[in-house]
């Protein structure tokens, strides 16, 4: 069975700093998708970024980028120039070939003014 | 506008009663999902369905039941067998081509007293 582990339950950084959220996963499959979702206080789940396992190039979306290490089964999220609006819960997720999507327990990120 | 609608937003039930949470989508997505969110537990998969009239158990299916009679609808019944039903429930959908993320509804907060 696939598992997703987020080892940082909570983090705080100053506005404009860079922060990295960690995620590791376990699977025996060679092809899959990985995602980072943001859940602000409204509790609406918002996709931040996605990565295809067969693509070696790390995905980037504006201030958000990932460091995907397939051999290590690691998928960290880097937020550059952090903003107050980035304060939220962040979930790492794994999707397998059967479209099953598994989430980690989340990291609560606080951006401090 | 296309999207996923969960209703109601808040739901109260007495212990021992079954309750059904509604999830409807007009995105023409094939796959639909139900997750339960508890503090510190992240999102845990209850059931998911890739096609009409078929569904698979997730990691915490005990005490829950689902049906998928229409592509647009994936209702979740929380039965009296579920020991701790009070939680926040999220419904999601995605295209079944292993190429897109899941889109989420706004959630239903179920409180059993």
Closest to B31 measured CA to CA, from B104, B107, B81: B104
Q: What is the mean pLDDT of each run of 10 residues along chain B (113 residues)?
A: 89 93 96 95 95 96 97 96 94 83 95 93
pLDDT of res. A56: 85
Say yes or no for a CB contact (<8 Å) between A99 and B58.
no
**Can you tell me the distance from the alpha carbon of B69 to that of B57, in angstroms, rounded to the nearest whole number?**
17
The pLDDT tens digits for A70-112 are: 999 999 999 999 999 999 999 999 998 888 999 999 999 999 9
Share of chain B above pLDDT 90, in %: 85
The pLDDT tens digits for A15-43 are: 999 999 999 999 998 889 999 999 999 99
B60 CB within 8 Å of a chain A CB: no
What is the DSSP track for B43-103?
EEEEEEEEETTEEEE-TT-TTEEE--SBTTB--EEE-TT-S---EEEEEEEE-SSSSS--E
pLDDT of res. B106: 96
CB A103 within 8 A of CB A39: no
The pLDDT tens digits for A103-113 are: 999 999 999 99
A 45-64 → B contacts, CB under 8 A: 45, 47, 50
**Can you tell me the distance from the alpha carbon of B55 to that of A5, in angstroms, rounded to the nearest whole number?**
26
Chain A residues with CB inside 8 Å of B94's CB? 99, 101
pLDDT of res. B1: 65
pLDDT of res. B99: 64
Neighbours of B74 (CB within 10 A): 28
pLDDT of res. A99: 86
pLDDT of res. B97: 72
pLDDT of res. A33: 92
pLDDT of res. A39: 97
pLDDT of res. A55: 87
Strands A3-5 and A24-26: antiparallel
């Amino acid at each position: 069975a696939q598992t997703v582990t987020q080892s940082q339950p909570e983090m705080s950084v100053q506005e404009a700093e860079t922060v990295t959220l960690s995620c590791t996963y376990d699977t025996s499959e060679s092809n899959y998708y990985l995602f980072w979702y943001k859940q602000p206080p409204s509790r609406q789940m918002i996709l931040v970024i996605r990565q295809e396992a067969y693509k070696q190039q790390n995905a980037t979306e504006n201030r958000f980028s990932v460091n995907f290490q397939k051999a290590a089964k690691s998928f960290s999220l880097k937020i550059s120039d952090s903003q107050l609006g980035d304060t939220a819960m962040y979930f790492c997720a794994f999707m397998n070939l059967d479209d099953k999507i598994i989430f980690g327990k989340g990291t609560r990120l606080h951006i401090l003014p | 506008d296309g999207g996923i609608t969960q209703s109601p937003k808040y739901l109260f039930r007495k212990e021992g009663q079954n309750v059904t949470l509604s999830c409807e989508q007009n995105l023409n997505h094939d796959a639909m999902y139900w997750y339960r969110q508890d503090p510190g537990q992240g999102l845990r998969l209850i059931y998911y369905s890739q096609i009409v009239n078929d569904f698979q158990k997730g990691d915490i299916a005990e005490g829950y039941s689902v049906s998928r009679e229409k592509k647009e609808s994936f209702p979740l019944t929380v039965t009296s067998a579920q020991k701790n039903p009070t939680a926040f429930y999220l419904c999601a959908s995605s295209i079944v081509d292993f190429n897109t993320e899941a889109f989420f509804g706004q959630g239903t907060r179920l409180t059993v007293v």
